[in-house]
């Protein structure tokens, strides 16, 4: 500290807009300074970041032309993402020093939050703090809203989830099982397939990287066809699923991680199946359903405390590890929800 007013503030900065798959060198570590007091009358909050979330959507914010729901990052600026943090100083009536909060923050040790209303106060529950960027955070809520609101699931239906062992997919599969569905997941390694079957309770799972023909793999797992597809990947998997959909099936288009770093995205050939099988295919954003967030938290905490769901995290230590962890999302290096532990409470 300098004169008790400033602290060193390590930061991860985006060097410039990127093309193709993200690389560690697209980001760099800088050491800045953070003031340890907020300005009176500013209604701002200074937080110390404890856990940071690595999410695939952040890749979209690293490109210049970005027709989307959220603006691009500014080259040379600290990367923004979801985190769990502790309030150091506050000029906002809703927060005081020592409060634990979750919300959008910076990839740095300390962040000054100008619009503190977006922060959520974390109540002291008997649940790991880091879960507030995973199970109880944006990815968990995506699974909840996408499955119940977009997939319109019914007991006994056949459900398929891609990127099934990831932050979103692992919860979708477990919610579908609790709903009485038959659930199959795809993932990119044998270890992930084993986790899906032996820890996360999926009925069946397969390694899509080892399947010479995705259509054959899907027909093997779903001889009767698929009622609900929770799509996290897009591309060839979506195309193969389309021809395996049952009458009046639903496809929730959650994400297209396989297409995210490609400028010339792959075409989908089997859309005609939407007509012949009367399938509803719907894209969604979790943020459209935020009115359901309180009921999501109550339900998931309840399931978790009853031992009905588990959650797998992939925890990296230190802010310095964040670029590599983020890059790893696009080659499937993460096993479960990718989190960075920046500091202890």
**Residues 233, 273, 281, 340: which binds ligand NAP (CB under 6 A)?**
233
Residue from 285, 301, 315, 324 binding ligand NAP (CB under 6 A): 285
Torsion of CA 144, 321, 61, 334, to 10 degrees: -40
Place of tokens 């770093």: 261
Pattern of binders to ligand NAP over 135-174, x per CB under 6 A? ----x--x--------------------x--xxxx-----
**Could you tell me which stretch among 5-13, 24-32, 148-156, 184-192 binds ligand NAP (CB under 6 A)?**
184-192
Residue from 137, 140, 153, 255 touching ligand NAP (CB under 6 A): that is 255
Q: How far is the CB of 174 from ligand NAP (least distance, A)?
A: 13
The reply on whether position 200 binds ligand NAP by CB under 6 A is: no
Q: Is the sign of the CA dihedral 143, 146, 152, 158 positive or negative?
A: negative
CA angle centred on 40, ends 36 and 43, rounded to 5°: 90
Sole binder of ligand NAP in the list 83, 173, 188, 323 (CB under 6 A) = 188
Closer by beta carbon to ligand NAP, 131 or else 330: 330
254 touches ligand NAP by CB under 6 A: yes
Cβ distance 27 to 36 under 8 Å?
no
Is the distance from CB of 48 to CB of 147 less than 8 angstroms? Answer: no
**Size of site (CB under 6 A) for ligand NAP:** 29
119 or 254: whose CB is closer to ligand NAP?
254
The 8-class DSSP code of residue 36 comes to: S
Smallest CA-to-CA distance from 228 within 203, 255, 254, 250 is with: 250
Question: Does 66 help bind ligand NAP (rule: CB under 6 A)?
Answer: no
Nearer residue to ligand NAP within complex by CB, 4 or 71: 71
Among 27, 322, 330, 339, binds ligand NAP (CB under 6 A): 330
**Does residue 312 touch ligand NAP according to CB under 6 A?**
no
Q: How far apart, in whole angstroms, are the C-alpha atoms of residue 89 and residue 37?
A: 6
Residue 286 binds to ligand NAP (criterion: CB under 6 A): yes
296: which residues sit within 8 A by CB, 6+ positions away? 140, 141, 144, 145
- Does residue 311 bind ligand NAP (CB under 6 A)? no
By CB under 6 A, what part of segment 68-127 binds ligand NAP?
none
Which stretch, 10-18, 50-58, 100-108, 120-128, contacts ligand NAP (CB under 6 A)? 50-58
- Nearer to ligand NAP by C-beta: 100 or 168? 168
Three-state helix/strand/coil letters over 63-127? CCCCCCCCCCCCCCCECEEEEEEEEEEECCCCCCCCCEEEEEEECECEEEECCHHHCEECCCCCC
Eight-state DSSP code of residue 325 = H
Among left, alpha and beta (phi > 0; psi -120 to 50; other), residue 14 is: beta
Helix, strand, coil % over all residues of the chain, rounded to 5:
30, 30, 45
- The CB-of-218 to ligand NAP minimum distance in angstroms stands at 15
Give me the least distance between CB of 75 and ligand NAP, in Å please.
22
Pick the binder of ligand NAP from 112, 257, 281, 325 (CB under 6 A). Answer: 257
316 contacts ligand NAP (rule: CB under 6 A):
no
Tell me the C-alpha to C-alpha distance, in Å, between residue 21 and each of 129, 183, 242, 323: 31, 31, 27, 13
- Angle (CA) 265 266 267, round 5°: 120
CB of 284 to ligand NAP, least distance (A): 6
Instruction: Pick the binder of ligand NAP from 150, 195, 329, 339 (CB under 6 A).
Output: 329
Q: Which residues bind ligand NAP (CB under 6 A)?
A: 55-57, 139, 142, 163, 166-169, 187-189, 192, 232-233, 254-258, 284-286, 329-330, 332, 334, 337
């Amino acid at each position: 500290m300098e004169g008790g007013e400033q602290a060193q503030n390590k930061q991860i900065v985006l060097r410039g807009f990127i093309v193709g798959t993200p690389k560690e060198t697209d980001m760099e570590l800088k050491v800045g300074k953070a003031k340890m007091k907020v300005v009176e009358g500013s209604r701002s909050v200074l937080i110390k970041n404890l856990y940071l979330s690595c999410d695939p959507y952040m890749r979209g914010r690293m490109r210049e032309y970005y027709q989307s729901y959220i603006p691009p990052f500014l080259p040379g600026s600290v990367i923004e993402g979801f985190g769990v943090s502790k309030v150091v100083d506050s000029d906002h009536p809703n927060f005081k020093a020592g409060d634990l909060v979750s919300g959008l923050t910076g990839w740095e040790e300390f962040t000054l939050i100008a619009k503190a209303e977006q922060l959520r106060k974390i109540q002291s529950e008997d649940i790991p703090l880091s879960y507030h960027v995973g199970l109880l955070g944006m990815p968990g809520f995506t699974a909840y809203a996408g499955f119940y609101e977009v997939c319109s699931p019914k007991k006994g239906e056949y459900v398929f989830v891609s990127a099934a062992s990831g932050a979103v997919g692992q919860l979708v599969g477990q919610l579908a099982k609790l709903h009485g569905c038959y659930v199959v997941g795809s993932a990119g390694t044998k270890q992930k397939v084993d986790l899906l079957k032996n820890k996360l309770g999926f009925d069946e799972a397969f390694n899509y990287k080892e399947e010479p023909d995705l259509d054959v793999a899907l027909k093997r797992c779903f001889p009767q066809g698929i009622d609900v597809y929770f799509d996290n990947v897009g591309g060839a998997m979506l195309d193969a699923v389309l021809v395996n959909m049952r009458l009046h099936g639903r496809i929730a288009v959650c994400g297209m991680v396989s297409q995210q770093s490609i400028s010339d995205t792959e075409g989908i050939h089997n859309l005609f199946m939407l007509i012949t099988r009367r399938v509803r295919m719907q894209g969604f954003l979790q943020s459209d359903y935020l009115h359901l967030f309180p009921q999501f938290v109550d339900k998931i905490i309840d399931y978790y405390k009853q031992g009905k769901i588990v959650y797998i995290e992939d925890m990296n230590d230190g802010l310095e590890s964040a670029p590599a962890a983020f890059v790893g999302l696009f080659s499937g290096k993460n096993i479960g929800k990718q989190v960075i532990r920046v500091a202890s409470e």
